[in-house]
Amino acid sequence: MPTEKLNGNFFIVPNSIFQKKLKPRDFAVYCCLTMHSDKNGYCYPSRRLIAEECSIDRKTVDTAIGNLLELGLIEKANRSIEGKKTSNRYRVLQ
């Protein structure tokens, strides 16, 4: 279930996210993806943007995304335009 955005100024995450016992980096990346997601849970932020907004490095972003994928909290798809890799597409599931 995608999270809800209200007035574009803040978003709501389900209380159940705290039962997942996420590490702070994973929670920050989850929240960043949630912040950027549309009403269906899709978003396209670059790893650089996620790292900048979460105050972590790109390698840490990759680790966090891997953990979120493993827990089934997000989906990830590679994107390309005219054969050139662009930012990934993410979908927040919970």
Q: What is the pLDDT of residue 76?
A: 96
- pLDDT category of residue 85 using cuts at 50, 70 and 90: confident
Between CA 5 and CA 41, with CA 31 as vertex, the angle to 5 degrees is: 50
**What does the pLDDT look like over 24-69, one tens digit per residue?**
999 999 999 999 999 899 999 999 999 999 999 999 999 999 999 9
Tell me if 1 sits within 8 A of 40, measured CB to CB. no
Q: Which two tokens stand for residue 51?
A: 């790292």
Confidence of residue 4 (pLDDT cuts 50, 70, 90): low
User: How many residues does this entry show for the chain?
Assistant: 94
Alpha carbons within 13 angstroms on the beta-carbon side of residue 26 total 18
CATH fold of the domain at 22-92: Arc Repressor Mutant, subunit A (1.10.10)
What pLDDT score does 2 carry? 57
Considering the chain, what percentage of its residues have pLDDT values greater than 70?
A: 91
Residue 80 has pLDDT above 80, yes or no: no
Note the pLDDT of residue 93.
94
Q: What angle do CA 69, 75, 79 make, to 5 degrees?
A: 120
